[in-house]
A = this chain, B = another copy of it.
Amino acid sequence: MDEGTAYGLAPATHDKALTEVGPGSPMGELLRRYWHPVGLAADAGATPKPVRALGEDLILFRDGEGRPGLVHPRCAHRGASLYYGRVEADGIRCCYHGWKFAVDGRCLDQPCEPEGGKLRDNVRQPWYPLEERYGLVFAYLGPPERKPLLPRIDVLEQLGEGESLEADDSSLGGGGPPVIPCNWLQHWENVVDSLHVPILHGVFSGPQFVPAMAQMPECHWETTGRGVRVTSYRDLDGGRRLHRVTEAAMPTLRVVPSPRLGQFGPVESIGWVLPIDDGSFRIYVAGRVKQPGDIGRMRSKMNGKFWWELSEEEHRAFPGDYEAQVSQGRIAAHSAEHLRTSDRGIALLRRFLREQLAVVANGGDPSGVARGAGADPLQHFANCGNFLAA
């Protein structure tokens, strides 16, 4: 009799607590204890820009005096969208009846009301605080009393001779288009899944980076206080040995040294995986570059083409991170997985996330949150990178 057929297979399910990010969900609340990038600095301007983060639709703008603002899209008056609003010196004005709001949501004018609205202080447009750093606009969508300091990151602060910082919003490292239609965790787990590299990026899509990366590495995983770090060992020409250190750190940092091994030393760039909602994400990156535009030049090509230039036949002949992760489904079916020893990074990262979920559920501050007088927001990632050992 046939064994192991698909007949009677239980419907597959995903781990909701680890993946779903909307308001009030466990992971949504955990992620809301951190700052997340929601745009490049230039995205905050005189034209209201719709952004979507953690399942919330918002409008990003910058008032005439240079202050960035992030507000609920529907006007507090009658709900017309501030997408059609006009940005003025001190705020954004709704097109329908002209209510104007400051970047912190205060109502500055109600022109159809006597005296511009004697009670206008009684209403406030829902808003979120923003800070700008490294060319990115960061938002805090969490409980106000828990707002941490916006972290500084050592490898983005210490610029070498002739280096400058550059930011990118095109989901570098995602292997596809700027908005990737699957759950953020499928990508973030991939950061510590070092053994897929020689298969997906080697056997399947040719040596996609450099030949050495197609070598099956020896890996060592460890839980850090802020996530999971993996060190991959590979032999290089001339008896040298590559120690490649990669890390997934709270809240969604991808700390991945260049897979092209162009230079050795600490990691050049930091990525933030922004969950747009349960079923899509995008990646913001900030990095040290030698020449303007270097960040954009990090983008992989397959068969000499960008991802969006490939035919369906080429996507199948040269599958990459996008194809592997998106094809896991809108949210991966965890109930049907079979993790093995080579998936140790995934297992450690999920365990770490579950611990952090428990911390928040118990009223605590999750890992890496710096808050209050004397708190130090500097985070150290210089131990991640491509390093040479004799």
A→B interface (CB under 8 Å): 1-9, 12, 23, 32, 47, 56, 58, 71-72, 74, 76-81, 83-84, 86, 95-98, 104-106, 110-114, 117, 119, 123-129, 141-145, 147, 195-196, 199-200, 203-204, 216, 315-316, 319, 323-325, 327-329, 332-333, 336-343, 346
In the complex, A332 Cα to B78 Cα: how many Å?
8
Q: A79 — which chain B residues lie within 8 A by C-beta?
A: 12, 327-329, 332-333, 336-337
Contact B97 A144 (CB under 8 A): no
Q: What are some 11 contacts across the A-B interface (CB < 8 A)?
A: A12-B74, A80-B327, A84-B327, A95-B319, A96-B324, A97-B342, A110-B342, A112-B340, A112-B342, A113-B342, A117-B340
Chain A at the B interface: SS class: loop
In the complex, A119 Cα to B342 Cα: how many Å?
13
Contact B200 A96 (CB under 8 A): yes
Q: A143 — which chain B residues lie within 8 A by C-beta?
A: 7-8
In the complex, A333 Cα to B343 Cα: how many Å?
46
Q: A78 — which chain B residues lie within 8 A by C-beta?
A: 328, 332, 337, 339, 343, 346
Closest to A124 in B: B4
Closest to A204 in B: B95
In the complex, A112 Cα to B344 Cα: how many Å?
12
Contact B23 A147 (CB under 8 A): no
Contact B199 A97 (CB under 8 A): yes
When all copies of this chain in the complex are counted, the total is: 3
Contact B56 A144 (CB under 8 A): no
Closest beta carbon of chain B to A146's beta carbon, Å = 9
Contact B97 A6 (CB under 8 A): no
Q: A315 — which chain B residues lie within 8 A by C-beta?
A: 84
Most buried by B among A47, A78, A105, A128: A78
Known: A6-B141, A98-B203, A113-B341. 6 other contacts (CB 8 A): A4-B124, A6-B126, A8-B143, A12-B74, A78-B328, A79-B329
Closest beta carbon of chain B to A192's beta carbon, Å = 13
In the complex, A328 Cα to B124 Cα: how many Å?
18
In the complex, A333 Cα to B72 Cα: how many Å?
13
Q: Contacts A6-B126, A342-B97 given: A327-B81 contact, CB under 8 Å?
A: yes
Contact B97 A196 (CB under 8 A): yes
Contact B341 A114 (CB under 8 A): yes
Q: A58 — which chain B residues lie within 8 A by C-beta?
A: 6
Contact B316 A47 (CB under 8 A): yes
In the complex, A72 Cα to B319 Cα: how many Å?
19
Q: Contacts A56-B6, A327-B84 given: A144-B112 contact, CB under 8 Å?
A: no
Q: A9 — which chain B residues lie within 8 A by C-beta?
A: 23, 72, 126
Q: A204 — which chain B residues lie within 8 A by C-beta?
A: 84, 86, 95
